[in-house]
Amino acid sequence: MRKSYFTLFFIILIIFSFPISFILSLIYGQIYIPLNEIISPHGFYYTILFRIRLPTVIASALIGASLSIAGAIMQLLLRNPLMDPYVSGTASGGAFGAVLAYFLLAFNLPFGWLIYISPLIAFFFSLLATVITLAIGKKTGVYGIIIGGVVVSYLFSSMLTMLLEAIEYKYPQVPPPLFWLLGEIQIVGYEFDEALGTLVFLLIIFSIIESRKLDLVHISDELSFAKKVNPNRYRMLWIIFLSVIVGLIVSQVGIIGFIGIIVPHIVRRTIGGNSSTLIPFSAILGSSIMMLSNIIASGALGFVIPVTAITSVLASPIIIYVLVKSRVSEGY
For residue 193, the model assigns a pLDDT of 95
Region 301-324: mean pLDDT is: 83
The CATH number of the domain where 268 resides is what? 1.10.3470.10
Residues 28 and 300: beta-carbon distance below 8 Å:
yes
For residue 301, the model assigns a pLDDT of 77
For 212-247, write each residue's pLDDT tens digit.
999 999 998 899 999 889 988 899 899 999 999 999
**23-37, 65-79, 167-181, 308-322: least confident range:** 167-181
Residues 302 and 30: beta-carbon distance below 8 Å:
no
183-192, 277-286, 300-309 — which one is most confidently predicted on average? Answer: 277-286
Amino acid identity for residue 104 in this structure = L
Distance of CA 284 to the CA centre of its chain: 13
CB atoms within 10 A of CB 138: 12
**63-67, 137-141, 325-329: least confident range:** 325-329
For residue 88, the model assigns a pLDDT of 86
Task: Give the whole-angstrom CA distance, residue 250 versus residue 97.
Answer: 9
- Tell me the percentage of the chain whose pLDDT exceeds 90: 46
43-52, 57-66, 101-110 — which one is most confidently predicted on average? Answer: 57-66
For 124-136, write each residue's pLDDT tens digit.
999 999 989 888 8
Number of domains observed in the structure of the chain:
1
For 5-34, write each residue's pLDDT tens digit.
778 888 898 999 999 999 999 999 888 999
For the cut 80, the answer to whether the pLDDT of residue 278 exceeds it is: yes
For residue 106, the model assigns a pLDDT of 65
For residue 328, the model assigns a pLDDT of 47
Region 309-319: mean pLDDT is: 86
For 240-245, the CB contacts below 8 A with 24+ separation are 240/127, 241/203, 241/206, 242/70, 242/73, 242/74, 242/85, 242/90, 242/130, 243/90, 243/94, 243/123, 243/126, 243/127, 243/130, 244/123, 244/126, 244/199, 245/66, 245/70, 245/196, 245/199, 245/200, 245/203
Question: Domain range holding 312?
Answer: 1-330
For the cut 50, the answer to whether the pLDDT of residue 120 exceeds it is: yes
For residue 1, the model assigns a pLDDT of 58
Residues 91 and 312: beta-carbon distance below 8 Å:
no
For the cut 60, the answer to whether the pLDDT of residue 326 exceeds it is: no
Region 37-60: mean pLDDT is: 92
For residue 325, the model assigns a pLDDT of 67
For the cut 90, the answer to whether the pLDDT of residue 144 exceeds it is: no
Mean pLDDT, the chain, integer: 87
For the cut 60, the answer to whether the pLDDT of residue 330 exceeds it is: no
For residue 68, the model assigns a pLDDT of 96
